[in-house]
Amino acid sequence: MNVFDDATRNEFLAEFFTENRHALSQIEQGLLRLESADFDEELVNTVFRNMHTVKGNCRMMEFTLLEGLTHEAESLLDHLREQRIHADQLFCSTLLQVLDHIRATLDHIERFGDEGQADFSTLISAIRHIYESADEAYIFRGETGGASGQPEGADVSRCLTEPPHADAQSATRLETIQIPINRLDHLMNLVGELGASFNHLRYTWQRNPSGVVQSMESMDQHIVSLQNEVLQYRLQPIGRIWDSYPRLVRDLAVATGKKVLLELAGEETEVDRTILLSLKEALGHMIRNAVDHGIESVEERVRVGKSPIGRVRLQAEQKHGQIFLEMEDDGGGIHVDRVLAKAVERGLITPQKSAEMKEEEILRLVMEPGFSTAAEVSRLSGRGTGLDVVRTAVEKVGGTVQIRSQAGQGTRFLLRIPQSVSIVPALLVRALETGYAIPQAHVVELVSHYGEGVRGHLESKMQWPMIRFRERLLPLLSLGQVLRRRGMTGEGVYRELVSQTTLQVAILHSEEKLFALEVDAIDEPVSIVVKPLPRALGALPLFSGTGIMPDGTVSFLLNVPEFYRLLAC
């Protein structure tokens, strides 16, 4: 019988979800460590206490189905504490599946207020089978040294069945933040100063109009301070989306029969939560691809002289307002000849084009939609989905992807993304009498030529306009021509440009490559609040968002990597 009124119950539920999800995370991390190490009494006790906490919380809130499941899981852990069973693959797979079902049920409770139609009978039977068979099949290692820790005929795969969707809790954690009281106090002070600045501006406007400019500058400083403070609240450690990856790698390794170790570095690196949510799926695809395609089987690794345990390393680092992500594996690498042959076979490139491509360009083909060199379709991958999702997700937030690989040695992905996409420093330009914004992170230099200087700095190479920049020839795109989508040839664009008396160019970089973008006019640099593209415009890859300009109009933010890609078409 529920003894709480609605208000009290809601307060308890909020604490219930927070405490349980933290406990489940601790249990999961503990199980993954126990599976790959010798018996650790302190760690076992920690896992047991957290499971006991979850059970007690479910009992207090009268969620009887969850209480029953966690009670059986606690009994299984008690057998481990008494050293009558091992934390082997079957043991850990079963308990990890318990965690998945608990999380899915918590999500259901959070949405609908009850446990729904959850049926844990099969899972409970599997748990009971393990600990009821302990006396016969599970013998403590110290007594025998040779027991497998797994009952005869046990099917590990049956504990890897897909549970109800349980990943929403990760997104939920990123949708909430915890703010210390002193930071809230600082925020209130900033709001107070902004209010005072507004009152002073209104007073000055009425009594001393000549001082309005100074008052506006003061108010602008307070607005910038407030924006920066709010942006800091949005930053979250990237480790908040990484905490599910050790489990992902473990399950993938079990499913593929491989041995894989995941190494993480830089988990404390802070990134805007919007970017974190956008990249979570993309990084998951990269990890799946590394384990399923990159890391070889144990037998193959031993045959070629490698350690039987494959390694995947994920690292994050902040540099100059940019986040550098690196994912590297020591697997078989990407065979460029196979990639090239498959690309020609699929019609992605012509045989003539393939003969001219550099290795870096060939490696980028693996991120084309539908591309796959897999010999057969597997449950995990092989349908050509994955790496194109990575490129799309990264470029959507204004980032870039590079691939480095060596056959037989491994593959490395280098991702560069902005730390925040909420407020972006941008350069305003104009083309076709319309304003556009270019993220300043991509701007190298601004160049203007007049009169004879226009013809003197333009050349036509391989039927494409080029501009001479610091003793180098860079490919040149015309923003106006791109936006018109006219079928003008490169030679035609060149003739039109050399006929102009003024040439305004922004030198941009993408994927460490320089190129030039010709515009009608270059305006001022500003910081703009970026909003996602409307759904109706979501299929326009040349733009990565919209922003409000200083004059109140709405302009597009250019997707610089996509413009660079036009040069390869």
Per DSSP, what are the bridge partners of residue 293?
none
The pair of structure tokens assigned to 76 is 């299984």
- Lowest-confidence region among 282-286, 342-346, 408-412, 423-427: 423-427
Per DSSP, what are the bridge partners of residue 18?
none
DSSP letter (8 states) at residue 211: G
pLDDT for 310: 95
pLDDT for 348: 85
pLDDT for 375: 55
pLDDT for 495: 87
Give the count of beta carbons closer than 10 Å to the beta carbon of residue 491: 12
Q: Answer yes or no: are the C-beta atoms of 438 and 477 closer than 8 Å.
A: no
Task: Determine the 3-state secondary structure of 271 from DSSP.
Answer: strand
User: Residues 234-259: pLDDT tens digits?
Assistant: 788 898 889 889 999 999 999 999 99
pLDDT for 487: 59
pLDDT at residue 49 tops 90: yes
- Would you say how long the chain is, in residues? 569
Give the count of beta carbons closer than 10 Å to the beta carbon of residue 212: 12
User: Residues 484-530: pLDDT tens digits?
Assistant: 866 567 788 888 888 899 999 999 988 678 999 999 999 988 888 88
Q: Which of 1-5, 33-37, 125-129, 553-557 has the highest mean pLDDT?
A: 125-129
pLDDT for 320: 62
Provide the mean pLDDT of the chain: 83
**How far, in whole angstroms, is CA 90 from its chain's centroid?**
31
Please give, one letter per residue, the 3-state secondary structure of 348-383. CCCHHHHHHCCHHHHHHHHHCCCCCCCCCCCCCCCC
Q: Answer yes or no: are the C-beta atoms of 314 and 262 closer than 8 Å.
A: yes
The pair of structure tokens assigned to 470 is 């610091």
Q: How confident is the model at residue 175 (pLDDT cuts 50, 70, 90)?
A: low
User: Would the pTM of this model clear 0.75, i.e. be above it?
Assistant: no
The pair of structure tokens assigned to 222 is 């307070």
pLDDT for 144: 39
pLDDT at residue 131 tops 80: yes
pLDDT at residue 149 tops 60: no
pLDDT for 139: 45
Rounded to 5 degrees, what are φ and ψ at 470? Answer: 50, 55
CA 172 – CA 210 distance, rounded (Å): 51
Average of per-residue pLDDT across 389-400: 83
pLDDT for 154: 39
Average of per-residue pLDDT across 318-333: 87
Q: Answer yes or no: are the C-beta atoms of 348 and 365 closer than 8 Å.
A: yes
CA 289 – CA 287 distance, rounded (Å): 5
CA 94 – CA 127 distance, rounded (Å): 7
pLDDT for 178: 67
pLDDT for 462: 76
pLDDT for 157: 39
User: Residues 329-377: pLDDT tens digits?
Assistant: 999 999 999 999 988 988 888 888 888 888 888 998 888 876 766 655 4
Residue bearing the bigger pLDDT, 62 or 423: 62
Q: Answer yes or no: are the C-beta atoms of 406 and 336 closer than 8 Å.
A: no
CA 511 – CA 394 distance, rounded (Å): 12
User: Residues 435-465: pLDDT tens digits?
Assistant: 999 988 889 999 999 999 998 899 888 778 9
Q: How confident is the model at residue 185 (pLDDT cuts 50, 70, 90)?
A: confident
